[in-house]
Amino acid sequence: MYRYLGNSGLKINEITYGNWLTHGSQVENETAIACVHAALDAGINTFDTADVYANTVAEEVLGAALKGQRRESLVLMTKTYWPVGPRGANDCGLSRKHILESIDGSLRRLGTDHVDVFQAHRYDTETPLEETMLAFADVVRSGRAHYIGVSEWTADQIRAGHALARDLHVPLISSQPQYSMLWRVIEDEVVPTSAELGLSQVVFSPVAQGVLTGKYRPGQPLPEGSRATDAKGGATMIKRWMDDRVLTAVQGLQPIAADLGLTMVQLAIAWVLQNDNVAAAIIGASRPEQVADNVRASGVVLPSDVMTRIDEVLGDVPVRDPGLTARNAPAARPC
C-alpha cells in the first residue's frame, strides 16, 4: 500500500526498506542483496539509506542491489550530516560544502543521477540555517533531488526550516524520527507541527531495535546472534530497552497479537501506521524471510479498543518526553 509523503504528490510504500545497521555491517553483501530483492518481490519500491551507514558502504550495497531496476519505479531516500570518510573538519554537518559534496558522493554510490528525497540527518547548530536550506534548494534545482526532508529535528527547527524552504520554493515534505510503541516523543509537538506544515513522518525503529518482537525475555539469556549481542553497534542501540520492567511489559503484548492473528513484529509496525501523520514505517532485515513477514503489517487496521488495550498493557513504560528530541541531538558537529 502507498501513502502520500507530506502534502506532495509523491507516493511511497507505507512499509519502506531501510539498511541502517545491516548492509555493510551486520550482514554479508550477498544476504543484503537478497533482502533488497525480497523487498522488491514483496512490492516495496521505496528504499531509505544514508551516507553514514557503514561509512558509505551501505549506499554502495544498496546501489548494487538495485542495479538494473527501472529507476523511475523506485523511490530512493538518503541523508547527510554525520561524519563520513576520515572525519575531517568538513566531513560532517550541514554546511554548503558538505551538503553539495555529500549528494554527489551518494549519487555515485547509489548508481543514479538523482534521489527522490534528500534529508538532513540531524540539525547543525554550527551552520546558519539559511546556508543549509539554500544548499538543499540548489540540490533540488540542479535535479539531484526531487524533495527534501529532515531527521530528528524538533518542532521549532522544523518550523524554521519550513519557512525558509517555502521562501526558496523547494518542497520540504518529510520528517524521519524514531517512533514506536515504546518511544513516543514525537506525538505532542513534532507530529502536530508537521501536520500543520504539510510534512509526513517516515519513522525508523518501529520495532524498537527488535525489542517489540518479544524475543528478549526478562531474566533470560540474550538470543544468540540477536542485535543485543552485536558488537558492531546493534547492542549499543538496543541497550536502553534491555530492562526487565520493559521486557515484562512487552511480553504482555503477545496475547494481543495472537488475538489478531499477527506476529509481534506485525503488531508493532501496524501500530505506528495507525498515526495519520505517519507515511511509512522503515523496516530492516538480516534475512530475506523477515521482509515477507514485516510486509504483512501493511493495511492492518487496529480497532480503537486494541489501541487502548496496548496502552493499558504498556502502562508508563513508553517514553513520551518531547524534549528528548533536542536533548539527544548533537550540541556540536561530531567531527
Examine residue 64 and state whether it is found in any structural domain, yes or no. yes
Nearest of 117, 115, 182, 186 to residue 157 by alpha carbon: 186
| Sequential DSSP letters for 260-296 | HT--HHHHHHHHHHTSTTEEEEEE--SSHHHHHHHHT
Dump pLDDT digits (tens) for 110-144: 999 999 999 999 999 999 999 999 999 999 999 99
**To the nearest whole percent, how much of the chain has pLDDT over 90?**
84
Flag whether pLDDT at 196 surpasses 90: yes
CA atoms of 141 and 17, how far apart (whole Å): 27
* Candidate from 50-54, 85-89, 98-102 with smallest mean pLDDT: 85-89
Residue 80: predicted pLDDT: 98
Contacts of 7 (CB under 8 A, 6+ apart): 173, 198, 199
CA atoms of 231 and 195, how far apart (whole Å): 38
**To the nearest whole percent, how much of the chain has pLDDT over 70?**
94
| Mean model confidence pLDDT for the chain | 93
Mean pLDDT, rounded, for 210-224: 80
Examine residue 332 and state whether it is found in any structural domain, yes or no. no
Which CATH number goes with the domain that contains 141? 3.20.20.100
SS3 for 298?
Answer: coil
CA atoms of 214 and 212, how far apart (whole Å): 5
Examine residue 215 and state whether it is found in any structural domain, yes or no. yes
Examine residue 335 and state whether it is found in any structural domain, yes or no. no
For the chain, how many structural domains are there in total? Answer: 1
DSSP 176: -
Here the cell at position 169 is: 520554493
Examine residue 333 and state whether it is found in any structural domain, yes or no. no
Domain membership of residue 173 as a residue range: 2-327
Residue 239: predicted pLDDT: 74
Dump pLDDT digits (tens) for 4-14: 999 999 999 99
Examine residue 240 and state whether it is found in any structural domain, yes or no. yes
Q: Is residue 227 very low, low, confident or very high in pLDDT (cuts 50, 70, 90)?
A: low
Here the cell at position 167 is: 521562501
Predicted TM-score (pTM) of the model is 0.94
Residue 223: predicted pLDDT: 66
* Higher pLDDT, residue 324 or 239: 324
Examine residue 175 and state whether it is found in any structural domain, yes or no. yes
Q: Is 53 a catalytic residue?
A: yes
Instruction: Name the active-site residue from 2, 4, 53, 123.
Output: 53
Flag whether pLDDT at 333 surpasses 70: yes
Here the cell at position 32 is: 543484503
Task: Tell me the range of 27-36, 98-107, 214-223 where mean pLDDT is highest.
Answer: 98-107
